[in-house]
Structure 1
Amino acid sequence: MSETRIALVTGANKGIGYEIAAGLGARGYTVGIGARDNERREAAVAKLRAAGVDAFGVPLDVTADDSATAAATLIEQRYGHLDALVNNAGITGGMPQEPTRVDVSIIRTVVETNVIGVIRVTNAMLPLLRRSAAPRIVNMSSSVGSLTRQSGAGGVTTTGPVAVAYAPSKSFLNAVTLQYAREFTGTAILINAACPGFVATDLNGFRGVRTPEQGAATAIRLAMLPDGGPTGGFFEDDGEVPW
């Protein structure tokens, strides 16, 4: 087996995904830049290479089965295995999203990307991850995926706007992460959800208070967990996030 550590980050052509790729690359990983926009993907690869990162482009639309399969084939042909998968690609679906007024097609679209897309890509990459000595999967969630924080339970301040598509999609993703962790019991695969905090990206109109580099830190840490590290957890910089 090659000693080169290979990572794939979806939605990595900009924002938090780009910084996750940059951070893993700076730590010695060869990083696949997963993105569906050819021009933006290759621009990100060029920028990372100029910074000394061993990056390569991976055409990937997380909403398409054939695209996920082709991405796995590309990585298999080049490297034969995958050590870390960061499922970062996600959308909000646009606002407002009050449940009494939302178009249900928006909910379908958001879940297709934020949840089903993660399952689709993860399953496509699993044969490659199983060839790694220390496979790691990180699903990028959000504080709004915490039902505790959404409800204000236990005196916790409620977080985020009313968003019947985006927020529940992240709660769904957290639940999916737990189900994978249960299935992976007894294997070397560690899978966790990461909360980046309120990061200034185009996802929120750059209203966030954290930088993309700050938002990438927890995902990078989880992608590099040592053997025996946590699995089936939900983490942010300060520790575990309440479910």
Structure 2
Amino acid sequence: MNHLLGHGGAHAPRTAAANRGGANMEATVSNPSSKRVALVTGGNKGVGLETCRQLASRGLRVVLTARNEARGLEAVDGIRRSGAGHSDIVFHQLDVTDPSSVSQVVDFVRDQFGRLDVLINNAGISGVDRDPVLVAKVKDQVEGMDVDQRVEWMRENSKETYEEAKACIRTNYYGAKLVTEALLPLLLSSSSGRIVNVSSGFGLLRNFNSEDLRKEFDDIDSLTEKRLEELLDLFLDDFKANLIEAHGWPAGGSSAYKVAKAALNAYTRIVAKKYPILRINCLTPGYVKSDMSMHMGVLTPEEGASNPVKVALLPDDGPTGAYFDRNGEASFV
């Protein structure tokens, strides 16, 4: 499945804005080694943006990353303007599917800080095609709908294609894996390294219709990264052949998103076993009003961000290889 990663675009040189961010960071911190350093992917809006804001307010030094430089810089400026305690934040461009972009972020973090204490893999895409006209009008239709009605409305107004499914797996699973593997040496340099993978209730194994698939994704004693990626290849083959339902994959809409998040959950558990010195967990932020949910959610981004922040700040003897919903540690099934 590594063929899905590709290079995502031409090699982009480190931007002047990114370098400015580093200079700003140095100017605002008198003792660079005294604060924990966190990096958040997909940090320019929604849950990612609020996660950056809340981590900064808790006294962490935050590297906010996003694909779009202009939006990322605007997000950083907004957080800095929002009040005292939010100034220790810097932007760096990052496309999680582009190895050269990931490499530049690794170099930046190493050069500026020498380590990374918290990685929050938040960047993700929905894996469906949506009518922008409907998305623009959706806020007028939300009132009066319960959660189930909102989910159903979103399903009915989303179209899954093979290309969208492939991009979803590529970003939501392989992107998180690429960033994690690249930053692992810097996380291992921390005295209390944390990896937080932002998943979804859609990634729970109850969404799978095949008992064999549920067991395989849940059998962490036997499951390997290689086998996990073989399963993702099988899913995409079945998607292309219109065999999702017949072979027991999640059906009823957002199939690729559900499979990608289930794979991310499994990857979280595999890596947690491999690196017991780190705390490596995944979570759902809940059903948040954001672009991802076409603003059909029931939680604000601020409420959604509280869960990744809480998991990122777990104590050194806290759980690892676990999944958290908004009530605490929960089942992967």
Equivalence map 1:122-137=2 (5 Å): 122-137=180-195
Tell me what 2:126 maps to.
92
Tell me what 2:294 maps to.
205
Structure 2 letter corresponding to 1:5: R
1:140 is the counterpart of 2:198:
yes
1:49 and 1:123 mapped to 2: Cα distance?
30
Aligned residue pair count: 233
Aligned residues of 1:148 and 1:242 also touching (Cα < 8 A): no
Identity across matched positions, percent: 39
Tell me what 2:64 maps to.
33
> More displaced, 75-84 or 142-151?
142-151
> Cα offset for 1:5?
0.8
Which one has the bigger helix percentage? 2
1:240 and 1:29 mapped to 2: Cα distance?
24
TM-score by length of 2: 0.66
Correspondence for 2:106 among 61, 64, 72: 72
> Cα offset for 1:150?
5.9
Tell me what 1:8 maps to.
39
Tell me what 1:48 maps to.
79
Structure 2 letter corresponding to 1:198: Y
- Report which of the two structures shows the higher radius of gyration computed on alpha carbons: 2
Structure 1 letter corresponding to 2:49: Y
Tell me what 1:156 maps to.
none
Aligned residues of 2:127 and 2:160 also touching (Cα < 8 A): no
**SS of residue matched to 1:8:** strand
Structure 1 letter corresponding to 2:274: E
**SS of residue matched to 1:203:** coil
**SS of residue matched to 1:172:** helix
Correspondence for 1:190 among 266, 276, 279: 279
Tell me what 1:176 maps to.
267
Q: What is the root-mean-square deviation in Å for CA atoms of aligned residues?
A: 2.1
Structure 1 letter corresponding to 2:121: N
1:238 is the counterpart of 2:327:
yes
Structure 2 letter corresponding to 1:45: V
The unaligned stretches of length 5 or more in structure 1 are: 154-158
1:13 and 1:240 mapped to 2: Cα distance?
28
Structure 2 letter corresponding to 1:181: A
> Cα offset for 1:49?
1.3
The unaligned stretches of length 5 or more in structure 2 are: 1-31, 131-154, 212-249
1:140 and 1:177 mapped to 2: Cα distance?
10
Structure 2 letter corresponding to 1:24: L
Correspondence for 1:21 among 45, 48, 52: 52
> Cα offset for 1:171?
0.5
